[in-house]
Structure 1
Amino acid sequence: MPAPPTPSRALVVQRLLTEHCSAPVTVGGWQPLEPWAVARFRVEGAGAARTAIAKWVRPGAARCESWRPAAECAALRFLAEDVETRLAPRVIAFDPAAGLLVLEDLAPRVALDTLLARDGAAAHAERLTAFAHALGRLGAVTAGRADSYRSRRAALGPVDREAADVQPFADHRQEGVRWATALGVPPGARVSAELARADAVLSDPGPFLALSNGDAEANNLLVRASGPADARLIDFEAARFTHALADAACLYVPGPGWLSVGDPVASGLAGWHRHALAQGVPQAEDDRLFGFGLAAACLSWALIRLRRFPALDARARGDESRSQLVATLEAAARTASNHSSLPHLAGWSDRIAATLRSRWPDADQDFTDPVRFPPYRRRG
């Protein structure tokens, strides 16, 4: 049986929807969607019966920052009303004081990562294509419209400066550089020069400046498990305008939950993403601009992940997070090399990975082996 809502939250949701609909509304059938501060519920009244999704700030949680609901609300309204696209759920109602969002229910869609983990990437090629296309489409339809989004966001309250920055994790990347140095692989002059060039393009994306949900991974795409994918992007709590190719990195480099990804060029995912992005950002058709931006995004992500080194080094032999970090560094280097960009930075990433392979014999494996490490194999 679904757990009943807490009285306080039920009353807040019910009152919010009654005010929104200007008619009595009853909330029932509360179904928490753990481990998140999210629930599905039934709405009755106001001339309709349907289900909806509630998201709220969980008191005391690590991710309870009050700016998150406002950021998500602004992004979703921007997409629905300013851009007029169906890439994401629609906002039904928002209570800033309660940190409560009521959203369109996208069921029966399910998270793409659930399907990939259950069946493997080969079984869901069409849905992976929908993922790549959605990321490219998001960049295409929002490029050049940062002012519109930022006006909406400012109207909803104070803005978290780090979350709003085009590079909110720049400090984490610098921490990764420090750990590389501690491992005995410091960046030389040429590497440092390329780091500066990569930082410059990520900080000032030019025509590639576009909206991101802040967490472009397979768990944040909902698709239908059969038939047409009919995909929707979710979780815009950390929405911001940033370099559009930062979102593409997840097609090339393992994300937090994955040990490996496939070859996006061979699978066609790279082409689907790039073509969709070019519809609104024609500069994406320029091999030099596209390759440089993608290499910068992937290598930056690898360095951000390197900041986890001390935690992983303390773990037991065989911990798969060690393998994931090695695979991430090598995949980022491989992507840069394939696009003839940032050769010194790519070589440095490979040298860091080689140092970790030597330090962690359990992570000294062939992550390009499609049998041992199939695409989108989830980290244990």
Structure 2
Amino acid sequence: MIDVVEWTRLEPWRVARARTDRGEFVIVKWMGPHVDGRQTEAWRLRTEVSALRFLSEDLQVDLAPRVLAEDLLAGRVILEDLAPRVALDGLLRGDGVVAHAERLEAFARARGELGAITAGHAERYYRRRERLGQVDAEADRLGRVARLRQEGLSQAGVLGVPVTGAVEREFALALAELADPGPFLALSNGDPESNNVLVRSDGPPDARLIDFEFAGFTHALHDAVCLHVPGPAWMRVSTMTARPAGSAPLPQVGEVYRRALAAGVPQAEDERLYGRALAAACMAFAFVRLWRLQVLDGRAAGDASRAQLVSTLEAAASTAQEHHALPQLAGLCQHLAEALRHRWPDADIDITALEPYTPRPQ
């Protein structure tokens, strides 16, 4: 039994760092409101406990915090405190990507290692998860693919961009690729952005992944998207960019991820297989983000989320082109980005002039 005698709330507000009666520090999480209402609070906590115990106890790896105790009926769980590690996104915002290149590499490596270590163990995970309550493995696997199948490329019509038969056929192939991962079926924490990795700010990064409330087995390449296409926090993330002579080189984090994944999923070494799957995952992310079109239309001119959406579409297209995959969808993304630049003159900026991991202005 762990008795908490003192605590300090962290962000989000249902997480706290606490001191036990033995003078040790732990992290306490409890059920509470979450911006993503896809699942109940109890479901999310059970999923996190299952995923973390699966990693530390079943697979015996140190990629995430250990569960020290849980009371699921009361809606509380006590986790290992990973301090003095801090969130990578805060370091990148404060100091820029060059100062934390080694930590960014560690982030990419940890994401690839998660896929490599867990690939092939889906049944083992779901046996553990089902002991804590019903779970839908198919819904985990499909993720955003299910909604894309329903709504397709409807936003292209809103922007006046034609969708040809060739585009539709390639779109169907891309979704089929993601829906049937084969050897690429691996555990994801469900939110693979840089705010969900903790690293040491001095010395070796020693990265740990956190926030497994939406964990599940899905296509591993969904976890690589954040290294190529900007998520909600960033205007640009790709480090595949030329830099002035004499400046520090940037880590090729996409390749760092790929090498780490290939250690457990050798199919990642196949240029064709990997490129097609990565392009499909990036496209799926970009098309889902495009569903925010009406919301962004209603915002004031100059809102950075508009230029960010342009950047997202162009980054997805660029990733596909770099890997010689899905040319029809890459072309569609480019046309959609051009349509947005015309629709929102305030978003017609030179994305390539931005440094990787330029934060989105709030």
Q: TM-score, normalised by structure 2?
A: 0.93
2:225 is equivalent to residue 241 of structure 1:
no
d(CA) in 2 for partners of 1:117 and 1:85? 29
TM-superposition CA deviations, 1:19-78 (whole Å, max 9, x none) = xxxxxx531221000333101100124xxx311011111158765532100111110011
d(CA) in 2 for partners of 1:115 and 1:347? 35
1:129 maps to a residue whose letter is E
2:281 is equivalent to residue 297 of structure 1:
yes
Q: What secondary structure does 1:191 align onto?
A: helix
Q: What secondary structure does 2:26 align onto?
A: strand
d(CA) in 2 for partners of 1:172 and 1:29? 46
2:34 is equivalent to residue 33 of structure 1:
no
- 2:251 aligned residue: 267
TM-superposition CA deviations, 1:273-311 (whole Å, max 9, x none) = 111100000000000000000000001100010000000
Match of 1:50 among 24, 29, 33: 24
Q: 1:376 to 1:44 in 2, by over 3 A?
A: same
Q: Larger Rg: 1 or 2?
A: 1
Match of 2:198 among 222, 243, 246: 222
2:357 is equivalent to residue 376 of structure 1:
yes
2:157 maps to a residue whose letter is T
Q: What secondary structure does 1:66 align onto?
A: helix
Match of 2:307 among 316, 320, 323: 323
Contact 2:88 2:103 in 1 (8 A): yes
2:325 is equivalent to residue 341 of structure 1:
yes
- 1:72 aligned residue: 48
CA RMSD for the aligned pairs? 1.7
Contact 2:4 2:19 in 1 (8 A): yes
TM-superposition CA deviations, 1:112-140 (whole Å, max 9, x none) = 00000000101100000001100110000
Q: How many residues align?
A: 351
d(CA) in 2 for partners of 1:44 and 1:163? 41
Q: What secondary structure does 1:144 align onto?
A: coil
Contact 2:144 2:288 in 1 (8 A): no
Contact 1:283 1:289 in 2 (8 A): yes
TM-superposition CA deviations, 1:199-222 (whole Å, max 9, x none) = 011000000000000000000000
Q: 1:306 to 1:233 in 2, by over 3 A?
A: same
1:224 maps to a residue whose letter is R
- 2:346 aligned residue: 362
Instruction: Give the C-alpha shift of residue 188 in structure 1.
Output: 1.0
Q: Please list, as runs of the form range in 1=range in 2, the aligned pairs for 1:1-380 lying within 5 A after superposition.
A: 18=1, 25-45=2-22, 49-58=23-32, 63=37, 65-159=41-135, 164-168=140-144, 170-171=146-147, 174-175=150-151, 177-264=153-240, 267-369=251-353, 373-380=354-361
Instruction: Give the C-alpha shift of residue 162 in structure 1.
Output: 7.6
Contact 1:32 1:38 in 2 (8 A): yes
Q: What secondary structure does 1:89 align onto?
A: coil
Q: What secondary structure does 1:215 align onto?
A: coil
Instruction: Give the C-alpha shift of residue 234 in structure 1.
Output: 0.3
1:246 maps to a residue whose letter is H
Q: What secondary structure does 2:142 align onto?
A: coil
Gaps in structure 1 of 5+ consecutive residues:
1-17, 19-24
Structure 1 range deviating more: 266-275 or 346-355: 266-275
d(CA) in 1 for partners of 2:323 and 2:266? 18
Contact 1:69 1:237 in 2 (8 A): yes
Q: What secondary structure does 1:345 align onto?
A: helix
Contact 1:284 1:290 in 2 (8 A): yes
Q: 1:123 to 1:309 in 2, by over 3 A?
A: same
1:30 maps to a residue whose letter is W
Q: TM-score, normalised by structure 1?
A: 0.89
Q: What secondary structure does 1:158 align onto?
A: coil
Q: What secondary structure does 1:267 align onto?
A: coil
Contact 1:251 1:264 in 2 (8 A): no
Query: Matched residues, percent identical?
Result: 56
d(CA) in 2 for partners of 1:233 and 1:296? 24
Instruction: Give the C-alpha shift of residue 84 in structure 1.
Output: 1.0
Off by >6 Å, runs of 4+ in structure 1 = none
Structure 1 range deviating more: 313-322 or 181-190: 181-190
